[in-house]
Structure formats: C-alpha cells, structure tokens
Amino acid sequence: MSDVGSRIRAVREKSGLSQNDFGKEVGASGRKISSVEGGATRPDYELLSAIHAKYATSVDWILTGSADFVPLTPAPDQKSIHKLVQEVLAAVETEMMERMKEEETRFVAEAGAGTVPLYTIEGGEEIRYQRDRPAASGGERTGAPPGLSDAGAFACRLGDDSMEPEFRVGDILFFSPAAEVESGCYACVRLEEKSTFRQVFLDEEIVRLVPANRKYPEVRVGRDQVKGMFRLVWRMQRF
C-alpha cells in the first residue's frame, strides 16, 4: 500500500464506510477505491477534490502527509454542501495542481517513468486508431505520470478553449483505456476517426458530450456512434 493510498484508506475507515459506499460518496467505483488504497493507481484530480470537499480533508496531507488531518465535518444540508464544494474547489485548485506537478516532475526525474504517445485534441491533428486504441505513432511522446502502467495509455495536448475554465489550452491530459468510464467524468470520446475531449453523461441510448466553455454547443450522440471512450486519469496543467 502506498502512503497516499494509506491516507485515503484512513479517511474512509474514519467515515465507517466500505470501499463501495465510500466510492459512491466521492463519485468513484469501489474497484477504483481499492486500487488507489492498494497503491496500484494514483488518485486523480476528481477524486482528490471530492475527498477534500466531502470530508474536509487537506489535499496536501493526502499527497504528502505534511499537513494536519482535518476531522470529518458533515455539512448540515445540501445547499451548504454545494456551497462548500464551490468554495473548496476555488480555493485549492491552484495549490493542488502545483503539488501534483511537483510530484510528476520528481517521479520522472527519480523513478525514470516511461513515456506515452502525445497527440493534439480539438483544433489539431486527428488521432488515428487501430481497433479500439490509438495507433502506434513514431511522433511526439511525453513522460507518463506516477502509477500509469496501462500499455494502451496515451496523452493529448488540449488545442482549443472548449473546456475552459476547468482546462486550458496547452494542458496535457492522460487517458487510460483500462479506466472505467462513468457518467459525469471527463473523457476522450472517439467518434469514427476523430476524437473530442468532453465531460460525458451516459443515458441508456444517448451519450451527452458537454463542454465547459458555454460558447460551444453540447452534443448528443447515440451510443452506436461512439467507437470508444477513454477516461481522463491525470492532468499536467500548463502554467
């Protein structure tokens, strides 16, 4: 078990929840919680934000162990929870992304991480596919983030402003075919030979592709039109 995983497990055990129930509270599957606690995968931005907001737990403590653990403080009602989430995300995003960037830099320098293919998504070159994964490329590559061992993983540099303010032009996004795609997560969605990066909402027959920047339209496509979905598992923010 990794130190990060053990600290997330401490938060869960303090809440008295199973991995499945804890996952429901923070928008993740029980399998993902188990994988993170066991050190097989690293917690992504969405999971860290949810744990911080739901359990008032320091992200700095989760990632490094250097800050004091903040006890559980349940919000009195749903409005308070929503307000708390908004305030927390606005307050900690910059600090959290800087911490994750520092950890990525240290990992690559000290652990000799591997590399993955790097493409451009939205406003750039098309991503070519071979069956259900991007085709091998002799072009640009980038270092893989900590814990990303999936052989089919790939990265995309965001080429337009369709996902601002959550994501910015130049951010490098890492996707894993092995990660479970759930409604509400961010994903690279393959439509025929082209791909788009959007927040996805899954209905029985429809997939909604929602941009963060409201000047771009929401797109609804049938499930049969979607050739593949690859979940965002890591983000390297452009500073």
For 207-239, what is each residue's pLDDT tens digit?
Answer: 999 999 989 999 999 999 998 899 999 988 765
pLDDT at residue number 135: 56
**How many helical (H) and strand (E) elements, i.e. helices and strands, does the chain have?**
6, 11
pLDDT of residue 237: 78
Using 70 as the pLDDT threshold, list the residues of the chain that sit under it: 1-2, 66-113, 123-139, 193, 238-239
pLDDT the model gives residue 138: 53
Structure confidence at residue 74 (pLDDT): 47
Coil, strand or helix at 198: strand
- Domains contained in the chain, CATH given: 3-111 (1.10.260.40), 115-236 (2.10.109.10)
- What pLDDT score was predicted for residue 49? 84
Is the CB of residue 38 less than 8 Å from the CB of residue 1? yes
Residue 68 DSSP SS3:
coil
CA-to-CA distance for 145 and 211, rounded, in angstroms? 25
Q: What is the pLDDT of residue 197?
A: 93
- pLDDT, position 143: 82
d(CA 232, CA 98) in angstroms, rounded, equals 18
Residue 159, phi then psi, degrees to nearest 5: -105, 0
Q: Write down the pLDDT at residue 75.
A: 44
Residue 190 backbone phi and psi in degrees, to 5: -90, 125
Q: Which pLDDT score, from 0 to 100, does residue 86 have?
A: 67
